[in-house]
């Protein structure tokens, strides 16, 4: 893996552990020689992970829509900053630049981003790992709901298992390095509908 995309909140959240996890992940990416691709902002967990990569000597590419640059939230100290016209362009470019995806704690934007790339993996559009860094059990409720979705027949177990989950940055990076997409990841067969 050369580049990992990290989705995260533009807020730091209420628990200091979220910021610590973002910074630890950034340090470990840099030490592993893995470049960071992220949403290009200087605030919240987004800024924390980017700053940590840079402070550890790593490379960071931010991808941000012009509208957010205009609101003065762009991180101007990055290795590279790509300014795009829309959120759709942002997500597509981040996905194209990256070899895998990690979601730190965040809000609905973070959830939407990780769910979209996970959906693309389910459909066979890519074979890149998709992961949640489950700091302080942040994603526990959502994971229980996803198990419910699978139990109700709306998500195949093979696809549920494609979403990697770990509590610590080092563990998530190891899981991503080991990840191999399922051979038969076909979403639906004609006889099933």
pLDDT tens per residue across span 144-180: 999 999 999 999 999 999 999 999 999 999 999 999 9
Q: What's the pLDDT score for residue 186?
A: 58
Q: What's the pLDDT score for residue 115?
A: 98
Residue with tokens 């590279």: 80
From 51-55, 98-102, 186-190, the region with the lowest mean pLDDT: 186-190
Q: How far, in Å, CA of 123 to CA of 186, rounded?
A: 6
- Provide CB contacts within 8 A for 20, sequence distance 6+: none
Q: What's the pLDDT score for residue 183?
A: 80
Q: How far, in Å, CA of 144 to CA of 9, rounded?
A: 21
Q: Residues 95-122: what's their mean pLDDT?
A: 97
Domain boundaries, the chain: 3-176
Q: How far, in Å, CA of 138 to CA of 132, rounded?
A: 10
For the chain, the residue count is 193
Alpha helices for the chain (secondary structure H): 16-31, 44-55, 66-70, 87-97, 108-122, 140-151, 157-160, 169-178
- Kindly state the tokens that stand for 72: 């003065």
Q: What's the pLDDT score for residue 126?
A: 95
Q: What's the pLDDT score for residue 184?
A: 65
pLDDT above 70: residue 191: no
CATH code reported for the domain at 3-176: 3.40.50.450
Convert 68-107 to b/e letters by CB count within 10 Å (16 or more is b).
bbeeebbbeebeebbebeebeebbebbbebbbbbbbbbbe
Q: Residues 20-40: what's their mean pLDDT?
A: 98
- Provide CB contacts within 8 A for 112, sequence distance 6+: none
pLDDT above 70: residue 193: no
From the list 133, 178, 156, 145, the residue with the least C-alpha distance to 24 is 133
- Kindly state the tokens that stand for 62: 């931010």
97 with 40: CB under 8 angstroms?
Answer: no
Q: If you write DSSP's letter for every residue of 55-104 in order, what string do you get?
A: HTT--EEEEEEHHHHHTT-B-TTSSEEEEESSHHHHHHHHHHH-S-EEE-
């Amino acid at each position: 893996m050369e580049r990992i995309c990290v989705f995260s909140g533009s807020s730091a959240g209420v628990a200091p552990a979220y910021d610590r996890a973002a910074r630890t992940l950034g340090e470990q990416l840099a030490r592993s020689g893995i470049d960071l691709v992220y949403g290009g902002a200087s605030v919240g967990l987004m800024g924390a992970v980017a700053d940590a990569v840079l402070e550890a000597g790593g490379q960071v590419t931010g991808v941000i829509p012009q509208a957010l640059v205009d609101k003065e939230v762009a991180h101007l100290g990055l290795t590279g900053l790509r300014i795009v016209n829309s959120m759709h362009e942002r997500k597509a470019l981040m996905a194209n630049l990256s070899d895998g995806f990690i979601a730190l704690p965040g809000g609905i934007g973070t959830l939407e981003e990780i769910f979209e790339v996970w959906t693309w993996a389910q459909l066979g559009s890519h074979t890149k790992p998709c992961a949640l860094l489950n700091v302080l059990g942040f994603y526990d409720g959502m994971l229980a709901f996803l198990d419910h979705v699978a139990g109700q027949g709306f998500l195949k177990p093979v696809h549920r298992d494609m979403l990697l989950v770990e509590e610590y940055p080092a563990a998530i990076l190891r899981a991503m390095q080991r990840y191999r997409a399922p051979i038969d990841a076909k979403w639906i067969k004609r006889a099933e509908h």
